[in-house]
Amino acid sequence: MSKNIDWGNLGFSYMPTDYRYVSRYKDGKWDEGGLEKDATITLSECACVFQYSQSCFEGLKAYYTKDGHIVCFRPDLNGERMENSAERLEMPPFPKERFVEAVRQVVAANKEYVPPYGSGATLYIRPFMIGTNSVIGVKPADEFEFRIFVTPVGPYFKGGAKPISIKVSDFDRAAPHGTGDIKAGLNYAMSLHAIQVAHREGFSENMYLDPQTRTKVEETGGANFMFITKDGTFVTPKSGSILPSITRRSLMYVAEHYLGMKVEHREVYFDEVKDFAECGLCGTAAVISPVGHIYDHGSDIYFPSGMDTMGPWTQKLYDTLTGIQMGRIEAPEGWVVTIE
Ligand code: PLP
Ligand code: COI
């Protein structure tokens, strides 16, 4: 039985559910972990996560397929990326195999919160890890919690599939240590001011340029970019300081192998952007959100696809990706993992 939730009108916000997965690290090892009911964490005021932001997180989704199974999309890649984030932050990696199993347990335990097929909503899964013991000198914690909570969500941007307006940001997204390639709390804290500035000015997101030269396209606060050229080539920025998006990596494969498109993964100069035919943001939360307009310090770029609908290639990519995720189109081996 599903919970009595107005699935069609969910935004992207937090709703506590019945169970979360918790594993604790102490004396050099992770405990066996399991499901807990309490959504509250009680910690010392001096816990490393509060003082030095020792935290990292992931994001993935579960949903019902057409034939009634609950599935997840490529959770092994989230597990692998979280291992990398943890290593970079001097936290003990939570093994990716255990990560996938923990996702399975927490989704199954909260299955009444998985939105029905076709509702447009999904169950967002948020694994995270924090340094929990008290640390006052600048050094890593030696006790940690790995947790996963889930929450049903609707579209990330208001208006669903309607093209959005974004602006070229005056700020750099990542901390000045080039840490954009890990999914860590501090990276996102560095973008909170820029997000508020963009929203106050009426934009949905920021386009961050490379901090060194401010000439190359990086990503937005919560998604990678994809562009389509006038002759139908899929172009996506290559940079060591953006998050290696699982959605973007999947789309590169879908573009080439399902849609027969030419795919270019390369540095993209902001000067080229005005010549693209279509632009979109891709990520777990964003899925593919079309961009219709980019504002850059007094000048505007409007993509030919307009402000009403997605461009034709973006639509094909969206239909194919979501078709694979929801079981309407056959997935490459291992992409869709059945929970139950
Ligand atoms: N870039 C940033 C900054 C993000 O927060 C996300 C979301 O996770 C992405 C890109 C997209 O990554 P993925 O497709 O793995 O969700
Ligand atoms: C995700 O897509 O999972 C993210 O972490 C993006 C975040 C802005 C919600």
* Domains parsed from the chain with CATH numbers: 7-153 (3.30.470.10), 164-325 (3.20.10.10)
Q: How close is the Cα of 242 to the center of ligand 2, in Å? A: 13
Dihedral, 72, 280, 220, 121 alpha carbons, nearest 10: -40
- Within 10 A of 300 (CB to CB), how many other CB atoms are there? 10
Tell me how far apart the alpha carbons of residues 303 and 311 are, in angstroms, rounded to a whole number.
9
Share of the chain above pLDDT 70, in %: 98
pLDDT at residue 211, as a whole number:
87
* Total-model pTM: 0.96
The ligand with the least distance to the CA atom of 151 is: 2
Q: Ligand 1 site: residues with CB under 6 angstroms?
A: 59, 219, 222-224, 243, 245-248, 283-284
Q: Which of 183, 216, 262, 316 is catalytic?
A: 183
Q: In the numeric block, which tokens belong to residue 114?
A: 């998985």
DSSP 332: P
Ligand 2 atom 6, closest CA: 222
Q: Which residues does the chain have with pLDDT short of 70?
A: 175-179
Distance CA 78, CA 284 (A): 11
Q: Please name the residues in contact with 298: beta carbons below 8 A apart, sequence gap of 6 or more.
A: none
With both helix axes pointing from N to C terminus, report the angle between 75-88 and 96-109 in degrees, rounded to the nearest 10.
120
> Strand, helix or coil at 235?
strand
Helix axes 246-257, 75-88, angle to 10 degrees: 140
What pLDDT, on a 0 to 100 scale, did the predictor assign at position 1? 75
Q: Indicate the top mutation candidate among 243, 250, 282, 287 to test ligand 1's pocket, ranked by most ligand atoms within 8 A of CB.
A: 243
Which pLDDT belongs to residue 180?
A: 75
The two three-digit tokens of residue 87, written as one number:
């290593």
